[in-house]
Structure 1
């Protein structure tokens, strides 16, 4: 596990991770961009409130993608079972 430094919203953070530097920089950019969008949209003044709203926004987006992925995996499993039945005939 390596320690890398990323910058988010004007602050530097040391991150201990197995992910590569490019991946972590992309994640940091995503968080910073979301924070800037929220700040501009809602005119929130405190960094902590902007960060919490960004985290909430990213979490809801993640959960939606996860739900969609679970649905697709279940659908794929159903299709595979139907194929097994057809191939078995």
Structure 2
């Protein structure tokens, strides 16, 4: 579970909980397959989809990326993950 940094609680991520989708920040070097394996193994759930994007912000003409990615993990109906705080 070293790849998953922490859960994200924003307005959008709380809204996605109703669709059985969980949002967390992960290390940028981690792959989707690794994160899927970690989540399924650690929480005992079935992952059906994963979406990710890198967070960044523009500073003048340059774009600076953070050293983590945000993952939205969709679970099969009937499965859930306890809140990660």
Give the alignment's TM-score, normalised by structure 1. 0.24
| Bigger relative contact order (CA 8 A; separation at least 6) | 2
- Relative to total residues, which structure has the larger strand share, 1 or 2? 2
- Relative to total residues, which structure has the larger helix share, 1 or 2? 1
Which structure has the bigger radius of gyration?
1
Give the alignment's TM-score, normalised by structure 2. 0.24
